[in-house]
Structure 1
Amino acid sequence: MEPLLVSTGIVAIAEIGDKTQLLALILAARYRKPLPIGFGILLATLVNHGLAAWLGALAASWLGPDALRWILGLGFIAMAGWCLVADRVEDGPKATAKAGAFLATLVAFFLVEIGDKTQIATVALAARFDSLLLVTAGTTLGMMLVNVPAVLCGDGIARLAPLELIRILAAALFALLGTMTLLRLDFGLLGA
């Protein structure tokens, strides 16, 4: 039980205010579909943290910190551009809209979590404890404990604030994160 409890606590604390929590808010505001977003976060985190528990240390040694910094920085800037693109999901059938929210969340969460402090924590926790299953379950539970409320709040914020304003603010924040990553400016705000 210790690997599960320790992993849950460490990742939940690390995730508060993290870029993936920001992403949860943005996705909730953009799609207004909490259930598919929540399942997207769950599956992306399970896959990402499962892989991190097994291969994270090896991948980090292959890429090195500079390559990882460039991948993350450019990824954030690309995410900023994506935030500015108006959705066409509402024009299609409801099933497409639900798949759109789920798939967008799945892909975005998986990619943004690469090199994040919670992924790195997963690698360290897997090295510390014998049970990869309990570590992966614990880190995933920690992510869900913090991000599900963010998804629910993001949906409420979307009802109060214009979606265009949310898009612009989200794009600005991702562009700032990307620029800070590329320039190696941390100030304790970046997850990696």
Structure 2
Amino acid sequence: MEALLVSTGVVALAEIGDKTQLLAFILAARFKRPWPIIAGILVATVLNHALAGAVGAWLTSLVSPQVLRWVLGLSFIAMAAWTLVPDKMDDDESESLAARRLGVFGATFVAFFLAEMGDKTQIATVAMAARYSDAILVVMGTTLGMMLANVPAVLIGDKLAHKLPIRLVHGIAALIFAVLGVATLMGAGASLGF
């Protein structure tokens, strides 16, 4: 259960102000059809994070528990630093072309799936799936965290974006990643084999 709760909380906080949340705001403003956008976000996130969770679980079979502990601890600390760097959206003309060809759901799915490749939340999913023994709970948690951050972005749009203290939220997420990193380096989870 810890894997689900930590994964949900960390990703929900890390996602606030992230490029995929900015993408959710843009898609909501452009298409004004929240339900296909939310469905596209959900399907893209489940697929992307399931792949990331599988990679994380696979990593545990490749390296010794001691090496894994150091890799994970340092990865969480790196995620803490990365979380403090604000994301910016790239203008992409292909987004409107994708919407014409694929519809709102398809355009959202493609945009979110690609935006998540190598993103903080995908890397965090890999690290947490390697850290916890239940990759399924991690993927459920990271997906729930993504939805908790992005559904309001789609439903409320720009009104919400200007009221959140983004720097504070990023600071809290960075602190959680840092605590996870230090705890892992100090041996937390030793009973799990690393």
TM tier, shorter chain?
Answer: 0.5 to 0.7
Please state how far the C-alpha of 1:140 moved relative to its aligned partner: 0.2
Q: Distance in 2 between matches of 1:47 and 1:87?
A: 19
Partner of 2:110: 107
145, 148, 172: which one pairs with 2:148? 145
RMSD: 2.9
Partner of 1:7: 7
Is the counterpart of residue 22 in structure 1 residue 25 in structure 2?
A: no
* Cα distance change on mapping 1:156 and 1:32 into 2, 3 Å: farther
Q: Distance in 1 between matches of 2:149 and 2:126?
A: 20
Please state how far the C-alpha of 1:155 moved relative to its aligned partner: 8.1
Is the counterpart of residue 47 in structure 1 residue 59 in structure 2?
A: no
The aligned amino acid for 1:123 is V
Kept in 1: contact 2:57–2:135 (CA 8 A): no
Kept in 1: contact 2:12–2:148 (CA 8 A): yes
* Cα distance change on mapping 1:43 and 1:88 into 2, 3 Å: closer
Structure 1: segments with no counterpart, 5+ residues: 60-75, 90-95, 158-187
Q: Distance in 2 between matches of 1:82 and 1:149?
A: 25
The aligned amino acid for 2:3 is P
Q: Could you list the per-position Cα deviations for residues 114-152 of structure 1 after superposition, in whole angstroms to 9, with x for gaps in the alignment?
A: 000000000000000011110000000000000001001
Please state how far the C-alpha of 1:87 moved relative to its aligned partner: 9.0
**TM-score, normalised via structure 2 length:** 0.61
The DSSP-based 3-state class of the residue aligned with 1:80 is coil
Identity rate, percent:
61
Kept in 1: contact 2:45–2:113 (CA 8 A): yes
The aligned amino acid for 1:81 is E
* Cα distance change on mapping 1:49 and 1:86 into 2, 3 Å: closer
The DSSP-based 3-state class of the residue aligned with 2:128 is helix
Kept in 2: contact 1:28–1:155 (CA 8 A): no
Partner of 2:121: 118
Q: Distance in 2 between matches of 1:32 and 1:41?
A: 15
The aligned amino acid for 2:126 is V
Q: Distance in 1 between matches of 2:128 and 2:148?
A: 18
The DSSP-based 3-state class of the residue aligned with 2:157 is helix
Deviating 4+ runs (over 3 angstroms): 56-59, 85-89
Q: Distance in 1 between matches of 2:45 and 2:132?
A: 19
